[in-house]
A and B are shown apart, each in its own frame.
Chain A
Amino acid sequence: MKYIKFFSVGILFGIVMSKAEIISWYRIYEMFKFQSFHMYGIIGSAVVLGMLSMFLFRKKMVKTFEGNEIHISPKKKGLYRNLLGGILFGLGWALAGACPGPMFVLVGKGVVSILVVIFGATLGAFLYGVFKDKLPH
């Protein structure tokens, strides 16, 4: 039962990704060509409202449903990790036209070929684990 809430939020996420055409390869291409405001508006408005949420969490005005304080675990620091990993991710994002969230939503849309991309992404995560200690972070 405790998973029903995550399942429901996932459904909402899948619907918004589809309905706002974020899962469309073309929307990502258009974004990187600076030919549409659509994706910038989505990310921008989500971040502005996200900042407001963070403010409410930090002021302890909102707690978890169990009444605990909301703790935001920070991301790992490291210029090389963030920049080089980011660039590699960006190359893949613009080629696949999908980042990890939309990849799964596309499975629900019935796109068989996206399974190759997901397999590649999983293999990529595995290879990162293998070569992790040899990479700059």
Chain B
Amino acid sequence: MEFITQPWAWYIAGPVIALVMFLLFYFGERFGVSSNLETFCSIGGAGKFVDYFKIDWKENSWNLIFVAGSILGGFIASNWLSPSDVVALNPETVKDLAEIGIQNAGATYLPDEIFSIDTMLSFKGFLTLLISGLMVGFGARWAGGCTSGHAIVGLSNLELPSLISVIGFFIGGLIMTWFILPLIF
């Protein structure tokens, strides 16, 4: 049981993610989470305003079910399989974060400075969360996929669009981490 309850190493997690992708192909579908965001829009009636969302979303219902499963998986893992919420970070990372205004890095999975209820209810905190989501959603659909569809499936399939997208993910991620995050907190 200890094998399960301790944090999983990369050489366990990588193969399990590959298995997830393999199983979805075996069941006749392509792994990709961000297309669900468009499905949400279609279900919400966005097709009335924009033709792009006039799709038969029922074809994507398997993916919504997959997402529902992942929510339950997150619940199971955090309630029953994880006795500790501590993330063993590189001490350098903890120091760097303290310098930009994020304290106690690694004590829990998420920084209070972004995700606590108090932060969420503040104007700046709410805006930060909303804008981060906006960029993820807009960017993923523009690029035609996110980490699952491009970085995992697309790179595995040696697709050039996915390689370009992943390079883009890193350009954006590095700009945010190195130049913008230090200005926010």
Q: How many residues of B contact A (CB 8 A)?
A: 129
Interface residues on A, range: 35 or more
A10 to B68, Cβ gap below 8 A? yes
The distance in angstroms between the C-alpha atoms of A102 and B63, with both chains bound, is 15
A82 to B66, Cβ gap below 8 A? no
Main secondary structure of the interface of B (DSSP, over half): helix
B27 to A64, Cβ gap below 8 A? yes
B30, B81, B158: the one contacting A73 at CB < 8 Å is B30
B136 to A50, Cβ gap below 8 A? no
Q: Which residues of A contact B123 (CB under 8 A)?
A: none
Shortest CB distance A45–B (Å):
3
A57, A75, A103 interface centre (most CB from chain B within 10 Å): A75
Q: Which residues of A contact B180 (CB under 8 A)?
A: 91, 95
| A-to-B contact residues, CB < 8 Å | 3, 5-33, 35-51, 53-54, 57, 62, 64-66, 68, 70, 72-79, 81-101, 103-114, 116-130, 132, 135
4 additional contacts, CB 8 Å, given A105-B74, A109-B75?
A: A9-B69, A26-B87, A89-B135, A110-B78
